[in-house]
Structure 1
Amino acid sequence: MPNIHFIAIGGNVMHQLAITLAQKGYHVTGSDDEIFEPAYSNLKNAGLLPNELGWFPIKITNNLDAIVVGMHARDDNPELMQAKQLGIPTYSFPEFIFNESKNKIRVVIGGSHGKTTTTAMVMHVLKQANLDFDYLVGAQLNGFPQSVQLTNAPVIVCEGDEYPASALDKRPKFHFLFPNVAVITGIAWDHINVFPTFDIYLQQFSIFIEKIEPGGTLIYNAEDATLKQLVLQQTRKDIQYIPYTLPTHKVDAGITYITMEDTTVPLKVFGNHNLYNLHAAYWVCRKLGVTTEVFLKAIQSFTGASKRLEVILANDSITIFRDFAHAPSKVKATIEAVKTQYPQRHLTAVFELHTYSSLNANFFKEYNGVFEKADSCAVFYAEHALAIKKMPPIDETLLRAGFNQSNLAIFHNKEALLSWLQQQPKINSNLLLMSSGNFDGLDLEALKSNYIPN
């Protein structure tokens, strides 16, 4: 079996790939200069934790078949320099995934929003249908022990990230996966630190379409104006185009029902953004041979991906949701979903500026109007997050102007935020916490206790 070495094995997806390759029977080694939880325990339990932290060129020998290079490995990494000297093949994470799945049907789900949820929906349905498949997804999902699996399955379902493949290769990850079935859920400018203009960002999706295998399929959201225009400009005649729209549905007593082919079923998820994701997942599953009947039966039990409208407290008075939303389109869609599902409830929405894009003053205006459907709203940022990212202090006048919301509260102290939250309505209300971080370690248990009746 192949001998594979990981440079920066402690990464979120890198360590998961290392574990699944070891499970497949490969001989796996790795190095890193820092390994945090849960990667530390996961690697230790799999017998793959390096004996000591650091980089050790002595580990790089001609016995290796390949080296996988993680996100924080730089050109001057001693192990990488040794590998180049010996001529050992090196791969970024997505390059290696493709290399291992050349003989599989590759499904790659891209888009500025909804990638994880759409991927999770496809995986859920395929599992319920007892179909054999591999996967790569950017979140921990119920029913799946890890976020990466590589076996001898005939199909692999991948979340297609537009972020760079590695520190050494700034091309987006999804450019390396060459899908047979591709999905684009929508396009809204993000990752301003990597794609400084919208045109540059848009170009990445055009290249993604070019990477679809001849005879392949593009499934796309036809109600996203930017995406629709991009597809209309395509000249490829050797692929199939499947547009999708918002499926037929209704909301009754806080439950969303979807109708397909004269069959109506209840869902555990809600919001137009999730219904778009569901429709994309439906067409992927149809391409993989799943019938509408099987799809509808399976999708009823889908509860969502981690931190995607995740309920962390629910009682007769209030529901508290946690969501990963951080890009403008995601924040707006998530707020609208909760308000539409519970129109009679007071909605308090809180958003943390945590990514490079959201903390950039030039990007504030992209959030214009995202809080329109919220009854109370606040923005939070941690000053040390700016320091870590080497960004200047935030001008809150520019921040307020960008969001253009008269009742917007702004906090950079978690205790002040918690105090404000405790003053919000507690009866017949919803609280929505949106962040790709954790609100600087906000004590969620203390927050929840404020809403639990004595």
Structure 2
Amino acid sequence: MHLHILGICGTFMGGIAAIARAAGHTVTGCDANVYPPMSDQLRALGIELIEGWDAGQADIGADIFVVGNVVARGRQPLMEAILDRGLPYTSGPQWLADTMLRDKWVLAVAGTHGKTTTSAMLAWILEDAGLTPGFLIGGIPQNFGLSARLTDSPFFVIEADEYDTAFFDKRSKFVHYRPRTAILNNLEYDHADIFPDLAAIETQFHHLVRTVPGNGLIVANGRDANLDRVLARGAWTPVERFGSDAGWQAGTPDADGAFDVSLGGVLQGRVHWALFGEHERMNALAAIAAARHAGVPAAAAIDALARFENVKRRMEVRGSVGGITVYDDFAHHPTAIATTIEGLRRKVGAARILAVLEPRSNTMKLGVMKAQLPASLTGADQVYCYGADLGWDAHAALAPLGDRVRVFDDLGTLVAGLAQDAQAGDQVLVMSNGSFGGLHGKLLDALRQRHADQTG
């Protein structure tokens, strides 16, 4: 079968392309911007890429067009040609469900925060146990070096996103996956561009709950009142909770981040790893519980986490110059920002944390979360915010932070100011769900130049 994928350079659709290619299909695709690293990865798989949405691609000979949610009516001539000519099309999640997941034991990881990391943990635990799972994850787990793969294993781990499926299917993506094991990590208001309120997201989560079979398992955050409300609407599947006394619990970590894991008050083992933060311990509990449902003993899962290498762009060290360490993190919601700073603080103690934020997500650009930003950043010693192209005043929103915050509308000026301010021992935490204009590399170059000038 020949698939032509619209929006192929996104992480999710690029993952579908890789899986389809591994299954033996011919795959081509197009996107508005075709550039590395995704373009290199896809071309290495033998996938032809076309930049742009010209209607001529309707004659490429595809058996089906797989449409990403970047596509909208009236914007892409190709989509209009597909509709006008009555050519077959489907969404990425629907194609995946119909062709790849139908006979799999799907382990789906849903939640506002921690989906990528928890999916990576779960895939790694299954891998370490010799189960060789397939997976599709919205980041690159460093234990694997790729975001998607197809295997002969019955197990498939998928990051289950609540964002909508396509312009013609406004249900959340995760409704398509029909998991046997479902993790509900947490639930907060997000995606203000498509959801009017928290209740609308809760409804989508309950649609997911309705699809889990009676012989499956729901692994739910026992501290989350929003998830309690979702499950109170009806659950027809056994539920195991984590973070609660009656369920899975993480003990107090030691100075190195190690912590005990218990189930119903009974010790299961001790995780030894380099990750820090309460959110990471909660992610670990969810992954251990889900893996246990797939047949991996808790002790084996706990042991596997000692070799878990996290995900690119999750507290990833991008470089260190003159005693200044630069991290890259995907945090873009106030809760994620706060927990990421808290985790780094536990790791570095009294060292200065310089938080650098790009409010880039659709929700952030709308300003829905701006009132929560100051509190989320209080754990940082200095805050640098890139305020260009926002629909709200970042200076005013962050004013409660006083002289600890600086707002920039020019990326070059931000880099220069940050490079000037940073001192040996500082921890520079860069947070964005995009590329941030290559800020990490530009900052490291500026720090190297400053270091050379000072030592030369």
TM-score, L = length of structure 2 = 0.86
Q: Secondary structure at the match of 1:182?
A: strand
Q: Which of 334, 341, 351 does residue 347 from structure 2 map onto? A: 341
Match of residue 225 from structure 1: 225
State the AA in 1 paired with 2:67.
Answer: V
- 8 Å contact 1:75–1:168 — kept in the other structure? no
CA distance change for structure 1 residues 30 and 179 in 2, over 3 Å: closer, same or farther? same
Q: How does 1:205-354 map to 2 (within 5 A)?
A: 205-231=205-231, 233-236=232-235, 238-245=236-243, 247-252=250-255, 255-260=256-261, 261=267, 263-314=269-320, 317-354=323-360
CA distance in 1: counterparts of 2:57 and 2:321, whole angstroms: 56
CA distance change for structure 1 residues 421 and 8 in 2, over 3 Å: closer, same or farther? closer
State the AA in 2 paired with 1:259.
Answer: D
Query: How many angstroms does 1:283 deviate by?
Result: 0.5
CA distance change for structure 1 residues 32 and 428 in 2, over 3 Å: closer, same or farther? closer
State the AA in 2 paired with 1:161.
Answer: D
- 8 Å contact 1:118–1:277 — kept in the other structure? yes
State the AA in 2 paired with 1:26.
Answer: H
Alignment deviations for residues 406-429 of structure 1 (CA, whole Å, 9 cap, x no partner): 633222222332343235452443
State the AA in 1 paired with 2:377.
Answer: F
* 1:173 paired to 2:179: no
Q: Percent same amino acid among aligned pairs? A: 26
Alignment deviations for residues 285-305 of structure 1 (CA, whole Å, 9 cap, x no partner): 111111122212211111211
CA distance change for structure 1 residues 294 and 197 in 2, over 3 Å: closer, same or farther? same
Q: Secondary structure at the match of 2:407?
A: strand
- 8 Å contact 2:119–2:159 — kept in the other structure? yes
Q: Which of 385, 400, 407 does residue 379 from structure 1 map onto? A: 385
Alignment deviations for residues 236-281 of structure 1 (CA, whole Å, 9 cap, x no partner): 2x301010015113232xx210223363342021111111101111
* 1:22 paired to 2:21: yes
* 1:422 paired to 2:419: yes
Match of residue 183 from structure 2: 183
Query: How many angstroms does 1:83 deviate by?
Result: 5.4
Alignment deviations for residues 329-380 of structure 1 (CA, whole Å, 9 cap, x no partner): 1001111111123332222222211112112234311324112222222322
CA distance in 1: counterparts of 2:49 and 2:127, whole angstroms: 34
Match of residue 195 from structure 1: 195
Match of residue 43 from structure 1: 42
**More off after superposition, 201-210 vs 323-332:** 201-210
CA distance in 1: counterparts of 2:107 and 2:238, whole angstroms: 14
Query: How many angstroms does 1:315 deviate by?
Result: 7.5
Q: Secondary structure at the match of 1:227?
A: helix
State the AA in 1 paired with 2:90.
Answer: Y
Show structure 1 runs of 4+ deviating over 6 A: none
**More off after superposition, 425-434 vs 178-187:** 425-434
Q: How does 1:364-443 map to 2 (within 5 A)?
A: 364-383=370-389, 386=390, 392=391, 394-396=392-394, 398-400=396-398, 407-424=404-421, 426-442=423-439, 443=442
Match of residue 357 from structure 1: 363
Bigger helix share: 2
Match of residue 5 from structure 2: 6
Q: Secondary structure at the match of 1:264?
A: strand
Alignment deviations for residues 153-207 of structure 1 (CA, whole Å, 9 cap, x no partner): 2011000111121233222111211111111111121111111322223322222
CA distance in 1: counterparts of 2:30 and 2:380, whole angstroms: 47
CA distance in 2: counterparts of 1:78 and 1:396, whole angstroms: 37
Q: How does 1:116-127 map to 2 (within 5 A)?
A: 116-127=116-127
Match of residue 71 from structure 2: 73
CA distance change for structure 1 residues 55 and 38 in 2, over 3 Å: closer, same or farther? farther
Match of residue 389 from structure 1: none
Contiguous gaps of at least 5 residues in structure 2: 244-248, 262-266
- 8 Å contact 1:317–1:428 — kept in the other structure? yes
Match of residue 264 from structure 2: none
Contiguous gaps of at least 5 residues in structure 1: 387-391
CA distance in 1: counterparts of 2:176 and 2:156, whole angstroms: 14
* 1:98 paired to 2:97: yes
TM-score, L = length of structure 1 = 0.87
Match of residue 107 from structure 1: 107
CA distance change for structure 1 residues 379 and 34 in 2, over 3 Å: closer, same or farther? closer
- 8 Å contact 1:116–1:137 — kept in the other structure? yes
Count of residues in Structure 1 that have an aligned counterpart in Structure 2:
438
- 8 Å contact 1:266–1:300 — kept in the other structure? yes
Match of residue 246 from structure 2: none
CA distance change for structure 1 residues 33 and 56 in 2, over 3 Å: closer, same or farther? farther
Query: How many angstroms does 1:396 deviate by?
Result: 3.9
